[in-house]
Structure 1
């Protein structure tokens, strides 16, 4: 599951209902007290058969047109093991209990079997469970996702502090670093107006501009629709307006001095860099919302990984064609 999907699920309203209904039960199962209050759940080994591996290989070929490499098969097996483990734990925790999506799915399946007019949905759900119709691929996927969400949560986690946010900002500078920016003015010389005297006019304008205050010098410019002053422009923004060569030359200028003529697709420009800001991190307040979301997703991902590690300790795993992996979770790292 990608970070994007995880972040979207964490913000979903149904999550709050799920957590309220399962938090206490999940806590007693996933983080049992020192003195167990109920008999331990028996967990059978998770077995990946040779037939399952063959189906994985064939599905891979159908989807991608080539056979899977050993590394890709390891990843597919690991994913299968993880999903089976999550599904089993979701059933242990009864995450399907009173779940509206599960109930709707079961009612639909019962009604697909034949007309049942007048029978309440609750009765149809009970009958569907009795018939084993809850062993369903759609329900399975739903429960796997709900189990992932549950493992990623920590209702007792303290609120994020500015220190937490600043630490994330410092560790991920490249994601938030603001690019270097220039504030500059220019005198534009339009070839359609200057004609063959364009270069001579540029040299004359440059000589005059260097003797005038910048505010007076820009009056020497030919009309330019995009304006004569550009504030806090990054190199990509300048490139978008004037082209790559122009942006490279302007960014190489020293502030405070009118440049020699610089060409662009429009004509010639005399450029005065007024201010140059080096790449910098934004203030915390300016990116607080993004940081809160990013830190929340990072910690949820960490909790999910820790929760999965705890669950792997509960299962013996066997994969066809390999030694009997008596150490729970060992198959997730093994190579085919």
Structure 2
């Protein structure tokens, strides 16, 4: 047989052609699944697996409320997966179809590539799409995207963006920034003398009116430098430790501070400038505001879809182990009821 006919690339292309021919097999339209009530059963083994995974990641067993959130996430994914199947998303994704057909080719070694439509139908009949985590993730993600799609009326208008700008000025305002010089006292070098040395040096700097640029040489070397330009409170907290920025921003200008502790030791600080943050012009943030509005509306669309879909499902939980005291937006059946 010529090498060309053994090529995986040719097989892939043939699959695509045959799948295109087989589109009549797929489920109809964008309509949702039947509006009757369906059941989702979470087995005891799956509950144990979720709790074990949580314990491995967090180093402790989950609280009842956390178990509830895990169950909710599990059920939400299952609902979206089923809805994706009901809306025919599996039949419209060439990558998912190819993956399922390749699995069937592996399971049925004598089957020919030309039987792709039949292979796909058998894969679905056998439920291979339920067991394949990659297929599930693809379909769930596609359903999330579909459920969060904006219609034309939800695209933010210039007026809505301007309204968001006016109402969000505080959030848009740039942070205040300090420029400062500090003298460092190392805890490693000075030990118990560190605070006394810092207080004595502060008095000397004030009495001698030592120039700010000369003062750092009176202390210890500091790896991050002694002059810091235009740093925000968060910048200082990240560099020096919690509350350092808050204390620095409370200082008066051009006066040496009392010793302020950091993760490294003590610091005498002299603030040169304190710049107030400014609100950027609308033109420079309009794209960001538009994306924020769109994201909120996408989230709302998806939540509205999920709220509707949840009313069509009842959840059956195992009658073992700790159960959550709250399961928001879910309606568990009696825990000893058999799955339907």
Same fold (TM over 0.5): yes
Map of 1:299 onto structure 2: 297
Q: 1-side partners of 2:199 and 2:49: how far apart?
A: 68
Q: 1-side partners of 2:257 and 2:266: how far apart?
A: 13
Matched, 1:112 2:106: yes
Q: 1-side partners of 2:282 and 2:163: how far apart?
A: 7
Matched, 1:86 2:80: yes
Report if the CA contact (8 A) 1:110-1:124 is conserved: no
Gapped regions of structure 1 (runs ≥ 5): 1-20, 31-40, 190-197, 211-216, 323-329
Q: 2-side partners of 1:70 and 1:266: how far apart?
A: 42
**Residues 1:170 and 1:58: Cα distance change in structure 2 (over 3 Å):** same
Map of 1:59 onto structure 2: 49
DSSP-derived class of the 2:90 partner: coil
DSSP-derived class of the 1:332 partner: coil
Map of 2:12 onto structure 1: none
**CA positional deviation for 1:308:** 1.8
**Residues 1:125 and 1:169: Cα distance change in structure 2 (over 3 Å):** farther
CA RMSD of aligned residues (A): 5.2
Select which of 247, 253, 259 maps to 2:256.
Answer: 259
**CA positional deviation for 1:154:** 1.6
Give per-residue Cα distances to partners, 1:173-202, cap 9 Å, x unaligned: 66x66443223467999xxxxxxxx99997
**Residues 1:133 and 1:172: Cα distance change in structure 2 (over 3 Å):** farther
**CA positional deviation for 1:240:** 6.6
Q: 2-side partners of 1:311 and 1:252: how far apart?
A: 52
Report if the CA contact (8 A) 2:161-2:290 is conserved: no
Tell which deviates more after alignment, 177-186 or 65-74.
65-74
**CA positional deviation for 1:93:** 1.9
Map of 2:6 onto structure 1: none
**Residues 1:185 and 1:107: Cα distance change in structure 2 (over 3 Å):** same
**CA positional deviation for 1:115:** 3.1
Select which of 267, 273, 276 maps to 1:275.
Answer: 273
Tell which deviates more after alignment, 302-311 or 292-301.
292-301
DSSP-derived class of the 2:113 partner: coil
Q: 1-side partners of 2:257 and 2:65: how far apart?
A: 58
Report if the CA contact (8 A) 2:260-2:268 is conserved: yes
Report if the CA contact (8 A) 1:106-1:134 is conserved: no
**Residues 1:126 and 1:286: Cα distance change in structure 2 (over 3 Å):** same
Q: 1-side partners of 2:288 and 2:119: how far apart?
A: 47
How many positions carry a matched residue from both structures? 277
Matched, 1:99 2:93: yes
Select which of 142, 150, 156 maps to 2:146.
Answer: 150
**CA positional deviation for 1:56:** 3.7
Map of 1:128 onto structure 2: 120
Give per-residue Cα distances to partners, 1:248-271, cap 9 Å, x unaligned: 66433323x443786898998673
Report if the CA contact (8 A) 1:78-1:332 is conserved: yes
Report if the CA contact (8 A) 1:182-1:234 is conserved: yes
**CA positional deviation for 1:113:** 1.6
DSSP-derived class of the 1:97 partner: helix
DSSP-derived class of the 2:92 partner: coil
**Residues 1:333 and 1:204: Cα distance change in structure 2 (over 3 Å):** same
**Residues 1:54 and 1:178: Cα distance change in structure 2 (over 3 Å):** same
**Residues 1:310 and 1:219: Cα distance change in structure 2 (over 3 Å):** closer
Tell which deviates more after alignment, 88-97 or 161-170.
161-170
Gapped regions of structure 2 (runs ≥ 5): 1-22, 186-197, 320-327, 336-340
